[in-house]
Chains A and B, each alone.
Chain A
């Protein structure tokens, strides 16, 4: 158990819909990262937040957005869903060196999204 929790575990929805994935980082971790893993693309970085502020963006579609709240949990919002958005979505967290911690990332168990 990495200490990172993600809900829900599974999500089945239809094209055109909107969903929200939730991530709670490990206690004390300030950085949260979102990754997408689809069969044909492997693990791809989407976006990172550090202490509530967006730090880096990867291959995140404009239909996707995220935020990190004051209690440090994060949500990934996916809208106008397409069949190709079906994937595993992982959240990871790390302390961050700035706070005197390590930058090792610990991953959650993921949310499996199926778009029908």
Chain B
């Protein structure tokens, strides 16, 4: 699986958009980008994933650059409850599922 690079920490003001970058310059053509977050010591929570098109769901938007070497997770209106560690993971999809390789992630602090 390709490795990812994320800033160790970021701050965001409550109500503003949080833009979390992820670099995956060695991503291969069949690898997807996944985002999860972990609030305190809870189980990681799925946010969104994509291959090459931008994706949006009720939680966030995922913007993937045209060369696919980087992506940005956007939380449009961050709240205090969005304070968490955010993980960007790239991996292939497999018929029977494949494990994730988690890096250290980005610790997002949403400030009042």
Contact = CB atoms under 8 A, between A and B. Distances in A.
A30 B94 CA distance: 13
B94 A97 contact: yes
A107 B46 CA distance: 8
B10 interface: no
Interface residues on B, range: 20 to 34
Contacts of B45: 2, 107
A92 B45 CA distance: 10
Contact of A105 (B38, B100, B103): B100
Interface residues of A, number: 32
Chain A facing B: main interface SS = strand
A33 B44 contact: no
Contact of A108 (B34, B38, B43): B43
22 contacts: A31-B97, A43-B87, A45-B99, A48-B99, A50-B96, A50-B97, A56-B98, A56-B99, A90-B43, A90-B44, A94-B97, A97-B93, A97-B97, A103-B93, A103-B97, A104-B49, A105-B46, A105-B100, A109-B42, A109-B43, A110-B42, A110-B43
